Amino acid sequence: MAGFINNLLILLLLFQNICLGFRSPLSVFKRYKDTSRSLSSECLGSDQTVISFGLSDFALDIRMPAVTPKQSDTYLCMSVPLPVDDEAYVVDFKPHASMDTVHHMLLFGCNEPSSTENYWDCDEGTCKDKSNILYAWARNAPPTRLPKGVGFRVGGETANRYFVLQVHYGDVSAFKDKHKDCSGVTLHLTHQKQPLIAGMYLMMSVNTVIPPGKKVIDADIACHYKRSPMHLFAYRVHTHRLGKVVSGYRVRNGQWTLIGRQSPQLPQAFYPVKYPVDISYDDILAARCVFSGEGRTTETHIGGTANDEMCNFYIMYYMEAKHAVSYMTCTQNANPEMFRNIPQEANIPISVKSDVLKMMHGHHEDFHIAEAVEWPGLDLKLGQVSGLALDPENNLVVFHRGDHVWDVNSFDSKFVYQQRGLGPIEQNTIIVLNPSNAKLLHSTGKSLFYLPHGLSVDKNGNYWVTDVALHQVFKLGANEKEPLLILGVALQPGSDKNHFCQPTDVAVDPITGSIYVSDGYCNSRIIQFSPNGLYVMQWGEETSLGRSRPGQFHIPHSLALIPDLSQLCVADRENGRIQCFKLETGEFTREIKHKAFGRELFAVSYVPGGLLFAVNGMPYPGEAESVQGFVMNFSTGEIIDTFIPLRKSFEMPHDIIASEDRTVFVGDVHAKTVWKFASAEKMEHRSVKKAGIEVQETKESEPIVEARLKNKPKSTDSLKNMDKQHLVQQASTTGASFVLITTLLVIPVVVLLAILVFIRWRKTTVYGADGEHKPDSSSRRILGRLRGKGSSGINLGNFFANHKGYSRKGFDRLSTEGSDQEKDEDDGTDSEEECSASPLPPAPSSS
C-alpha cells in the first residue's frame, strides 16, 4: 500500500511539473518542443503574457484557453490583441500542437475579431473585417522561420491589430478523457523595420468532385498575376486523406518553372523553395492536386470536415515594402487548356511509407530496442571507439584510436597536441564489419591519424573523418591509401576559415554534396564547405553564462542530417540537448531536450521515416539520470523508448548509428566496445520444426533478451540477474533437450485433466447442471462517431459560399484546411578527456 501511495505521489508531481512548464511563454519560445496534449486548465495562466527580448524583440504566446471540444470537426477561434500600438513585424512562428488532437491551425490577422469572448465557435466567423492568413499548420509540421530581413507587418496605422487563432479539432474521441487543450503558436516579433514584407498567396480549388472508386482525379488552379513583382521563398501543400501529390508552378511564355511539389500526407510544413522563383506582372501561377477516390463509396466534395477534401497550395512570398500586399488568393482555372503541357512530375504520386505515416500520427506499434546478445562484436580488439557509420551496403564502419589514448597529457592549454613523438597510429583505424556476424570485411587508415574522432560515409562510399590532434578533416576513398581531400592545417588549432580546433564530426549532404563540420571542443560553430572544400558559411557561438540560447554550443559533438526536411541536427554535448538547423541558411528550427538526457548528450543519428536515436553521458555525482540510449519521434521530440546493454555496461557511449531496419550500433570510447541493438519487430520470431517440436529462432539467428526501458531504467541488480539468467540458459542448453521434450509431452496431459476436473466442479457448485452466466448488456454497447453540425458559417468570411458556380450540396463550412576522457580508471574523473566536463560545470574553453 505504501508503495502504491509513493507511486501516486510521483505521478502527481510529474503532472504538476508538466503543467508548470506550460506557464512560461519564454520557455516555449526559447525551447521548442511539441507536446502531445495539454494536461491542465492551468497550462496558460489567466493572461496572455508578452516576453521581451532586448530592446526591440518580443514573443507573444497565442494558445487556446484550456478547451475541450464536444463533437468532431469542431472549429474554435480565439483572439489576441497586438500588445503594442506601433508597427511590428512577425519573423518567426513556433507551433505547439499534435495531430493526435488537432487537425490543423490557422492564424489570421485582422482589425476586428468576430467575437470578444474568450473563445468562440468559428461558425460565427473569424473576423468582421478583411482577414489575412499569416500562418498555417497541420500534420506535426515543424516550426517556420522567415528569411533575414523579411517579416509580416502588423500594427501601426494600416496593418492588423489582432491575431485570431483558428483550431480545427477533427476527431473528438481524442478527448474522451476530458482533458483540456491549449494548442497554439508562439510568435517572435520585432520593432526593427524589415525592408521586405512577407505575404501569403493561397491557391485553392472550390469545386472539385472526386467520384467513388476513381483512381486518378486532377484538380487544377491557375490565375494571371497582375501586381508588383514578388519573390517566393516557401510553399506548403494541403489536402485530406485522398490527396497524393500537390505541385505548384510559375508559367512564363509557355515555360513551366517548379515552385514546389510535395505529398500532402507528409508533415504539412512550409518547405523552402529550392531555387529562387520571382513572379512578374502577367505571369501565370498554376497548381495541380492529384486525388484518388479508391476506397470511397460516395462522391467526395471540397469542404471543411474530415470526410471532405481540399486542394490548397500556399505560397509565402516577399515584396518591397512600398508595393507590399499581405494576402492574395486564386480559386479559379483561368486556362484549362494549358494543363495539357504541365510537367509529367505533377502527375506522379509521391509514395509515403506506412511507418512514416505512423510516426507522423505519433503511433508506435509497441516499438522497443533490445541488445542482440549473441553478436560477437563485443569480442573485437579495438582501441577507443570514437566514430561509427554505415556504408552504402549497410556494413558497419568503425573508427578507433588503436594504441593511442586521449588523456590529460594529450594537449596543452592552447589545444596544441603534446604527444607527436608517439607518431601516427600504426594500426588500421578504419575497419569495416559485416553487421550480422562482425566479420572483418576491409580495413584502412594506418599511419594517418593521431587521435581519431568523428566519422561519416557519403553516398559514394567515401569515408569522412576528423582528427582532434591534427585539427583536420579528411576525405578517404574506400580503396585509397592517400586522402582525397584535407581541410584544416595539421597540428595547428585556430578559429578562422582555414583552421579548426579539435573538430568533432562531419556530415555530407547526399543531394548537394555540401560538407558540414562541427568545430568543436575549443570552437563553438558549424562550418559549411562546398563539395570541393571551399568555405561557404558558418553559424554558432559560445554558450552564454547561465543559460544556453538557440544557436549557442558547448561542444557541438555529433551531426545528423535530415535530408527529407533539409535540416541538420547537432548533439550539443555539454548543454545536454539536440539543436536542429536549416541546411540552406543555418537558421535554428528547433530544440529537443529532456530531463532524462542529463547534462550531456554525446551523439545523435536519424533514420528516414522519423526516428531519432541518441546516447547521453554518465551522470554527475548526486544526479539520477542514467547513461542510456534513446529512441525519439523526430516530429514531436517524444521519447519512445530507452535502452541499455546487458553484456558489459555503457561507460562513455561516444557515437551511435542506426539503419532503416532499426538496427542500432553504439560505440563506447572507454569500454572500447561496439554494441548491437535491434528492434523487437525486426527480430520477429520464425517457427522452425525440429523433431516435431516448435523452436523459436530470430531472423538473424540471434537470441534477443529485451532490455526495454520506458522513461525509467531498470535497476542494476535486475539487469545483472537477467544477464546471469541468460548465461545459465546458454550453459545448460545442450543438457536440457531431453528434459524439455519430456516436459512438453507431459504438460498437456496434466493441463487437460485439470481442466476437466475444474469444469465438473464449477458446474455443480456455481451454476448447477444448466447454469449459464450472461454478460451485462451494457458491455456490448457501440459508440457512434459524431459529425459536426451543419452550418452556413465559413471561416474566411462568406467569400467562398458566394463564389460563382459553387453548388456543393450539404456544404457545412469552408476553411482553407481540413481533417487530418573516457573515465580515468585511477581517479574516476573524465579524461577522454573528451576533455569531458568535471563534476562542476566547466568553463567552455576547457571542455
Strand residue runs (E) in 72-216? 74-81, 88-96, 104-110, 120-121, 132-138, 144-145, 150-154, 162-169, 184-190, 196-204, 209-210
* Active-site choice (96, 188, 240, 654): 240
103 given a catalytic annotation: yes
**Phi then psi dihedrals of residue 230, to 5 deg:** -130, 155
β-pair partners for 243:
291
* Active-site choice (104, 188, 404, 471): 104
* Active-site choice (48, 78, 96, 103): 103
238 given a catalytic annotation: yes
* Active-site choice (48, 166, 265, 552): 166
* Active-site choice (188, 238, 594, 670): 238
- Cα separation, 469 vs 518, in Å, equals 15
773 given a catalytic annotation: no
- Cα separation, 786 vs 605, in Å, equals 42
Joined grid coordinates for residue 130: 478583411
* Active-site choice (64, 105, 168, 502): 168
Joined grid coordinates for residue 105: 491551425
Order the strands of the 162-169 sheet from edge to edge. Answer: 120-121, 74-81, 162-169, 104-110, 132-138
Let me know: does 644 contact 416? Beta carbons within 8 Å: no
- Cα separation, 793 vs 373, in Å, equals 61
Kindly state the helix (H) or strand (E) to which residue 750 belongs, with its residue range. helix 737-762
240 given a catalytic annotation: yes
310 given a catalytic annotation: yes
- Cα separation, 307 vs 579, in Å, equals 38
CA separation, residue 642 to residues 425, 606, 677, 712, 731 (Å): 35, 15, 12, 8, 29
Strand residue runs (E) in 364-458? 369-372, 385-390, 396-400, 430-433, 440-444, 452-457
- Cα separation, 773 vs 778, in Å, equals 15
- Cα separation, 108 vs 131, in Å, equals 6
Residue length of the chain: 847
* Active-site choice (99, 203, 204, 310): 310
Angle at 845 between CA 398 and CA 473, to 5 degrees: 35
Q: For the chain, how big is the Rg over CA atoms in Å?
A: 30
- Cα separation, 595 vs 715, in Å, equals 18
Angle at 447 between CA 446 and CA 453, to 5 degrees: 75
Say how many C-beta atoms besides its own lie within 10 A of residue 157's C-beta: 7
Cβ burial, residue 753 (10 Å; 0-12/13-18/19+): exposed
Which residues are catalytic, by number?
103-104, 166, 168, 238, 240, 310
